[in-house]
Amino acid sequence: MGFTDFYLTFIQNFRDTSVAEVIAVITGLLSVWFAKKENILVYPVGIISVIIYVFLCYSAGLYADMGINAFYFIMSIYGWVVWTIKNKQSNKPRPISRMKYNETIIGIVITAVLAVCLYYLLTNFTDSSVPYLDSFTTAVFITGMYLMAIKKVENWIYWIIGDVVCVFLFAYKGLVLSGFQYLVFLILAIAGLIEWNVRLKNEKL
């Protein structure tokens, strides 16, 4: 596909953007903004977005991404609980922390294993048109979502990696507005990484 064909397809897909996708994008962006600010609203607002994306991804044949949004729903409930539980000694919510070396290695290994397993499932049991990217981004986002729930700074690194891929993946699949959303997600994730590092340093002072 040449640049002109891609541009014309992009414009047509943008015109065909549904109201549901608009709502999913807006609530998705708001949830990442709240996460950046370490605000508990990240979870209730995010739940609205993921429920809509379950249906959007199914319609687009992005089955792994559909599954991850169902997983996001579960992890949003979990994160909501974790972020609100206060430490018995300090009477404060869970603080931001950094992963230890062994935790980092385990996280990478688990992500790789997830990606391989998802690729096997997608290629053997679905008609996914982009199994490599679909399985990779899904594995990366699963790890990122869990790390966010337990307030690890490194969660933003996983989001950044996945967002870069999804900018092109969703645009290619015709979900143009969602592709743009992931571009904004990428910017917010970079800002979130910077802000959480600053917050962590301030907490240690």
Q: How confident is the model at residue 6 (pLDDT cuts 50, 70, 90)?
A: very low
* Ranges 11-15, 25-29, 139-143, 165-169, most confident: 139-143
* pLDDT value of residue 61: 74
Q: With 60 as the cut, is the pLDDT of residue 3 above it?
A: no
Dist CA 11 CA 116 (whole Å): 34
pLDDT band at 165 (very low <50, low <70, confident <90, very high): very high
pLDDT at position 90 is 67
- Residue found under tokens 């430490």: 87
Query: Taking 70 as the threshold, does the pLDDT of residue 187 lie above it?
Result: yes
Among 16, 144, 10, which residue's Cα sits nearest to residue 72? 144
Q: Is residue 10 part of a domain?
A: no
Residue 11 lies in a domain: no
Check residue 4 and give its pLDDT: 58
Q: What's the rounded Cα separation, in Å, for the pair 63 and 114?
A: 15
Cα separation of the two ends of the chain: 54
Average pLDDT value over all residues in the chain? 84
Band (193; pLDDT cuts 50, 70, 90): very high
What pLDDT sits at residue 149? 93
Give the span between the Cα atoms of 110 and 131, in whole angstroms: 18
pLDDT for res 205? 60
- Asked if the model's pLDDT at residue 153 lies above 60, the reply is yes
Q: How far apart are CA 39 and CA 58, in angstroms?
A: 30
H/E segment holding residue 59: helix 42-60
Domain-located, residue 1: no
Domain contains 26: yes
| pTM to 2 decimal places | 0.81
- Predicted confidence band of residue 10 (pLDDT cuts 50, 70, 90): very low
Task: Determine the pLDDT at residue 11.
Answer: 46
pLDDT at 108 over 80: yes
User: Cβ(163)–Cβ(182) under 8 Å?
Assistant: yes
Q: 83 vs 92, 151, 158, CA distance in Å?
A: 10, 8, 20
Number of domains into which the chain is organized: 1
pLDDT in tens, 109-152: 999 999 999 899 888 887 777 888 888 988 999 999 999 999 99
For 127, counting Cβ atoms within 10 Å of its Cβ (0-12 exposed, 13-18 middle, 19+ buried), the class is: exposed
User: Is 136 part of a structural domain of the chain?
Assistant: yes
Provide the domain limits for residue 163. 17-87+98-204
In a domain, 29, yes or no: yes
Domain assignment of residue 81, yes or no: yes
Residue 115 has a pLDDT of: 94
pLDDT at 76 over 70: yes
Whether residue 1 has pLDDT greater than 60: no
Report CA-CA distances (Å) from 23 to 28, 29, 49, 84: 8, 10, 7, 26
Would you say residue 124 lies in a domain? yes
